[in-house]
Amino acid sequence: MIKLTAFFLLVAFVSCNMEPKETENSVEQSSVTYSKLEYLKNIKKIDIHTHIRSEQQFLVDFMDEWNFKFCTVCTIGSSSKYLQPQIDTAKMLYNKDPRHYAWITTFDVSNREEPDWAKSVIVKLKDDFNNGAVGVKVWKAIGMQYKKSNGEYLQLDDPVFTPIFNFIAQEEKTLMAHMGEPIHAWMPTYTTKKGVGRNYWAKHPEYSFWDKPELPSYSDIMAARDHVLERHPNLKFVGAHLGSMEFDVDEMITRFERYPNFAVELGGRTRYFMWQARGKVYDFFIKYQDRLMYGTDKGSRFTMTDEIKKETKKEIEFRNNLFLRYYATNDEIPWGNIIAGDRPKPQPSYNVTGLNLPKEVLDKFFYKNAVNWFPGIDKDF
């Protein structure tokens, strides 16, 4: 009994003595994470998902200051009026300044039922690859908007796309697919009492599939995407916006385990990681560290006033600052309810603890994985 009491006293003494050490450790810890943030700011980084629709000096200044390269993604494959200027800008930027710009092309799907459509797409893609495109993007309108002549919604696993996907795989390029929406698109929209739309789907009713049972379901769209993954095991396939499975890392894990040709990029969806259990998200990053890429979905518009340029620059700095801190430190980061889309800067209402990822994982997430999944993207960088 005496021995036991002595043992407890010893334990109590040791733990008391540990106290100041623990404080020292946490000081040490925060300086470690601080230096890790500095490390991350300094290493080469690729933002795999930007939309650069006009050449802007402030973007180049940002990339130089933060050691970034931007990959601009051409999108919307149904209007050549909208599509061609994006492709022309991306090509021009790449040819002029490959240190700062890489690009992912896309193709026009509007004539898909015409004979030889796929052949003509392949001719264009060949030219884009010769002009440095590292991949091809397909957009959510496939699955949610375009219909076939029989009235069915066109899905990604439609045979019309097969020769194109075969060609992309054969050229060792990568398909980036924004398929479907976050699952919220199938849930009620948010409107104010005055009837003002507060989230994206309230403002874009064409993509709100809430209470429309005749439209494709979330699972239909994910299943069509998964069929393509299965059918084209040699096609490198990157799911944009975390493959629209941002709400639960388990959804991504299921596909990573099933399809070795599948990776995802963030596409500005960090907040969904913030909403899930931190330990689970941390383990997810450790285990699947070769399958995740950083992307913000930011960029420049076709035309920009000085005021918009200033705002955009501030926004890009603000977001990258916040997200780099989230991934590299264990800081308590004030965060808020971003569903309130009618308020441009919602007030933080709670804190989120940063993930504090190991350096090797940061290296991969911010740079090396982009180079592996989009070979050639590191040209001149």
Smaller CB separation from Zn ion, 117 or 237: 237
Nearer to Zn ion, 106 or 261 (CB): 106
Task: Pick the stretch among 38-46, 77-85, 289-297, 347-355 that binds Zn ion (CB under 5 A).
Answer: 289-297
Q: Which CB atom, from 296 or from 329, has the smaller least distance to Zn ion? A: 296
Which CB, 48 or 222, lies closer to Zn ion? 48
Q: Which residue is nearest to Zn ion (CB)?
A: 297
Cα–Cα distance, 105 to 123 (Å, whole number)? 13
Choose one: 101-109, 290-298, 313-321, 322-330; the region binding Zn ion (CB under 5 A).
Answer: 290-298
- Shortest Cβ distance from residue 135 to Zn ion (Å)? 13
CA atoms within 13 A on the CB side of 340: 10
Show contacts with Zn ion in window 296-325 (CB under 5 A).
297
Report the alpha-carbon distance of residue 255 to residue 263 in Å, rounded.
9
Smallest separation, CB 49 to Zn ion (Å): 6
Minimum Å gap between C-beta 112 and Zn ion is 22
**Contact call for residues 62 and 40 (beta carbons, < 8 A):** no
CA distance 270 to 241: 9
Tokens of 262: 């599948």
The two tokens of residue 126 are: 């060949």
Site for Zn ion in 110-169 (CB under 5 A): none
Using the rule CB under 5 A, give the single segment among 226-234, 269-277, 294-302, 331-339 that binds Zn ion.
294-302
Cα–Cα distance for residue pair 144/222, rounded to 1 Å: 12
User: Which residue type, as a one-letter code, is found at position 40?
Assistant: L
Judge whether 227 and 250 are in contact, CB under 8 Å.
no
Q: How far is the CB of 150 from Zn ion (least distance, A)?
A: 30
**Pick 117 or 139: Cβ nearer Zn ion:** 139
> For Zn ion, which is the closer residue by CB, 73 or 169?
73
**Cβ at position 149, least distance to Zn ion in Å:** 29
Distance (Å, whole) CA 180 – CA 144: 7
CB of 72 to Zn ion, least distance (A): 10
Residue in 373, 367, 368 with CA at minimum distance from that of residue 174: 373
Alpha helices in 43-155 (DSSP H): 57-66, 80-96, 117-130, 141-144
When the beta carbons of 157 and 297 are compared against Zn ion, the nearer one is 297
Nearest to 137 by CA among 98, 187, 184, 102: 102
Q: How many residues does the chain have?
A: 381
Residue 169: CB atoms within 10 A of its CB come to 18
Smallest separation, CB 31 to Zn ion (Å)? 36
# residues near Zn ion by CB under 5 A: 1
User: Taking CB under 5 A as the rule, which mask of x and - marks residues 246-285 in contact with Zn ion?
Assistant: ----------------------------------------
Is the Cβ–Cβ distance between 78 and 146 less than 8 Å?
A: yes
- For residue 346, the SS3 value is coil
Q: Please identify, using beta-carbon distances, which residue of 108 and 297 lies nearer to Zn ion.
A: 297
Give the nearer residue to Zn ion in terms of CB position, either 157 or 265.
265
Give the nearest distance from C-beta 51 to Zn ion in angstroms.
6
Nearest to 103 by CA among 256, 299, 278: 299
Closest separation in Å from C-beta 353 to Zn ion = 28
| Identity of the residue, 56 or 166, whose beta carbon is nearer to Zn ion in the bound complex | 56
Contacts of 113 (CB under 8 A, 6+ apart): 148, 149, 160
Q: How many CB atoms lie within 10 A of CB 305?
A: 9
Interface with Zn ion, residue 47, by CB under 5 A: no
Supply φ then ψ for residue 240, to 5 degrees: -70, 155
- In Å, what is the CA distance from 107 to each residue of 117, 136, 309? 11, 8, 29
Q: How far is the CB of 170 from Zn ion (least distance, A)?
A: 26
User: Which positions lie near Zn ion, rule CB under 5 A?
Assistant: 297
